[in-house]
């Protein structure tokens, strides 16, 4: 007998009317018409049941700090970095913890149960590192938080940054970060990539760098990152985040770069909401979109995830932890509006980032941890279109969040009743 049985589920791979049996916090069976009774039965009613959303790129040390100490007037990346520099000396640990926990509440409500967050390690006090290590433990029962040691001001450019980064890794931060395009020269940027990849290789850690987050077609640190991955045997454990310069690169150069990334086992993370906002700021018109080449990367066999990057912080004043909003923007910017493209964008906020983070037991196969989201939508395409309500969120077989279905009722005399936003085509 199952502890819990979810009846009549649609799955992201297209299977319909499937039952999911859960025992001891794990998925025990996935098949049509599983035998009951169970401790509890939940009728999914032909709606989508997905593994949880995963955000592969976030900044939890700055989240929900919007307006502190002032608002970013220009809206640019550089004013954001300067503003964060003003805020850093004023930060206190309890406030970082409080804001991070509040964001994790939002995340859980939206079915987002795994987040890779960069944490700025340039402050020698390592206040934010300590705060987020504490938060990682606090949220462990319900959310997987993976931390990246991120030298925001440049590991070579900022005095003491390498030492601080190593101390953060010694304290238990999971992943090695970097920001080569923010070093003073291209040569320094390349040197920082080599140094940081060697640090990761010697410690057996993964790498995730902010890489080429600019509109400069000649910012090519991703090439160094890929070649270092091969040199140090880090294939499958290295990620380039942002990669916005690829938007502006020469096509011939990209035709060489993509196979190199594929051979090096380097994954890519685009951050559509932020890339569309921060890039192209030096352009008049035509104005570049500034997101990396998502369909081309996917066609070359390179895993691509979408990250939220920022929510209400010095760089971005919007957001609510909704990865469907991220996917929605991503498919528009990348012009991935075909059915396959939209499904790939759903993958980019679920299974692909789960693989990039190396999450254990993620998925809907028997044996996986029973982490699930029931959405008010029939399939992934409808989920993105409607930014569907997360009716129920489950962690290890226990319901941890519920949201009432979104409904609207018309009081028009001619057409009274509930509005149904699904497409019911009866005639051509
Ligand atoms: Fe970022």
Residue 263 in contact with residue 230, Cβ under 8 Å?
Answer: yes
pLDDT of residue 385: 98
pLDDT of residue 278: 92
E strand map for 163-307: 175-176, 206-211, 238-242, 266-270, 304-306
Task: Say how many Å lie between the CA of residue 118 and the centre of ligand 1.
Answer: 7
Task: Say how many Å lie between the CA of residue 111 and the centre of ligand 1.
Answer: 21
Task: Say how many Å lie between the CA of residue 179 and the centre of ligand 1.
Answer: 10
Task: Say how many Å lie between the CA of residue 7 and the centre of ligand 1.
Answer: 39
Task: Say how many Å lie between the CA of residue 305 and the centre of ligand 1.
Answer: 13
pLDDT of residue 77: 84
pLDDT of residue 42: 98
- Predicted TM-score (pTM) above 0.85: yes
Rg, C-alpha atoms of the chain:
22
Task: Say how many Å lie between the CA of residue 309 and the centre of ligand 1.
Answer: 5
CA 369 – CA 146 distance, rounded (Å): 18
pLDDT of residue 381: 97
CB neighbourhood size of 204 (10 A): 8
Task: Say how many Å lie between the CA of residue 116 and the centre of ligand 1.
Answer: 10
Tens digit of each residue's pLDDT (9 = 90 or more) over 78-120: 899 889 889 988 999 999 999 999 999 999 999 999 999 999 9
Task: Say how many Å lie between the CA of residue 150 and the centre of ligand 1.
Answer: 9
CA 428 – CA 420 distance, rounded (Å): 19
CA 83 – CA 221 distance, rounded (Å): 26
SS3 of 58, please? strand
Task: Say how many Å lie between the CA of residue 213 and the centre of ligand 1.
Answer: 9
CA 22 – CA 5 distance, rounded (Å): 6
Q: Is the peptide bond before 286 cis (omega within 30 degrees of 0)?
A: yes
pLDDT in tens, the chain (428 residues): 999 999 999 999 999 999 999 999 999 999 999 998 999 999 999 999 999 999 999 999 999 999 998 999 988 888 998 898 899 889 999 999 999 999 999 999 999 999 999 999 999 999 999 999 999 999 999 999 999 999 999 999 999 999 999 999 999 999 999 999 999 999 999 999 999 999 999 999 999 999 999 999 999 999 999 999 999 999 999 999 999 999 999 999 999 999 999 999 999 999 999 999 999 999 999 999 989 999 999 999 999 999 999 999 999 999 999 999 999 999 999 999 999 999 999 999 999 999 999 999 999 999 999 999 999 999 999 999 999 999 999 999 999 999 999 999 999 999 999 998 988 777 77
pLDDT of residue 184: 97
pLDDT of residue 424: 76
Structural domains in the chain, CATH included, are 2-51+363-409 (2.30.40.10), 53-357 (3.20.20.140)
SS3 of 71, please? coil
Q: Show contacts of 419-425: CB within 8 Å, 24+ apart.
A: 421/386, 422/378, 422/382
CA 352 – CA 227 distance, rounded (Å): 23
Residues labelled catalytic: 213
Separation of CA 135 from chain center:
18
Task: Say how many Å lie between the CA of residue 210 and the centre of ligand 1.
Answer: 6
Would you give the DSSP letter of residue 79? H
Nearest to 149 by CA among 170, 168, 134, 127: 168
CA 30 – CA 122 distance, rounded (Å): 47
DSSP 291-318: ---HHHHHHTT--EEE--B-SSBTTBS-
pLDDT of residue 427: 77
Task: Say how many Å lie between the CA of residue 412 and the centre of ligand 1.
Answer: 47
pLDDT of residue 344: 98
Task: Say how many Å lie between the CA of residue 81 and the centre of ligand 1.
Answer: 11
Task: Say how many Å lie between the CA of residue 273 and the centre of ligand 1.
Answer: 11
């Amino acid at each position: 007998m199952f502890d819990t049985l979810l009846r009549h589920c649609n799955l992201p791979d297209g299977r319909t009317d499937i039952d999911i049996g859960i025992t001891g916090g794990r998925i025990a069976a996935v098949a049509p018409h599983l035998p009951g009774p169970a401790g509890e039965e939940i009728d999914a009613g032909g709606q989508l049941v997905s593994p949880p959303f995963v955000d592969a790129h976030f900044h939890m040390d700055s989240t929900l700090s919007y307006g502190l100490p002032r608002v970013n007037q220009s809206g640019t990346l550089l004013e954001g970095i300067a503003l964060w520099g003003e805020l850093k000396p004023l930060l206190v640990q309890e406030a970082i913890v409080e804001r991070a926990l509040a964001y994790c509440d939002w995340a859980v409500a939206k079915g987002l149960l795994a987040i890779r967050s960069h944490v700025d390690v340039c402050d020698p006090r390592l206040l934010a590192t300590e705060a987020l290590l504490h938060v990682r433990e606090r949220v462990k029962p319900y959310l997987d938080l993976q931390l990246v040691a991120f030298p925001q001001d440049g590991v070579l450019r900022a005095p003491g940054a390498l030492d601080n980064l190593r101390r953060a890794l010694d304290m238990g931060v999971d992943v090695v970060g970097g920001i080569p395009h923010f070093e003073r020269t291209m040569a320094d940027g390349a040197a920082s990539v080599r140094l940081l990849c060697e640090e990761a290789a010697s410690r057996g850690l993964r790498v995730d760098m902010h890489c080429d987050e600019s509109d400069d077609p000649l910012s090519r640190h991703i090439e160094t990152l890929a070649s270092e991955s091969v040199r140090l045997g880090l294939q499958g454990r290295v990620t380039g985040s942002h990669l916005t310069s690829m938007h502006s690169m020469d096509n011939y150069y990209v035709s060489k770069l993509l196979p190199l990334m594929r051979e090096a086992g380097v994954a890519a993370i685009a951050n559509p909401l932020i890339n569309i906002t921060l890039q192209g700021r030096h352009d008049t018109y035509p104005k570049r979109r500034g997101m990396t080449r998502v369909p081309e990367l996917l066609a070359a066999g390179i895993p691509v995830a979408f990250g939220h990057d920022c929510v209400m912080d010095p760089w971005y004043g919007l957001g609510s932890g909704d990865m469907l909003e991220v996917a929605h923007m991503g498919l528009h910017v990348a012009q991935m509006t075909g059915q396959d493209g939209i499904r790939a964008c759903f993958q980019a906020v679920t299974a692909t980032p789960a693989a990039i983070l190396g999450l254990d037991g993620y998925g809907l196969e028997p044996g996986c941890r029973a982490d699930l989201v029931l959405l008010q939508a029939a399939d992934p395409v409808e989920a993105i279109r409607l930014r569907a309500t997360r009716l129920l969120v489950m962690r290890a077989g226990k319901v941890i969040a519920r949201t009432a279905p979104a409904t609207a009722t018309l009081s028009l005399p001619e057409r009274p009743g509930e509005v149904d936003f699904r497409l019911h085509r009866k005639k051509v």
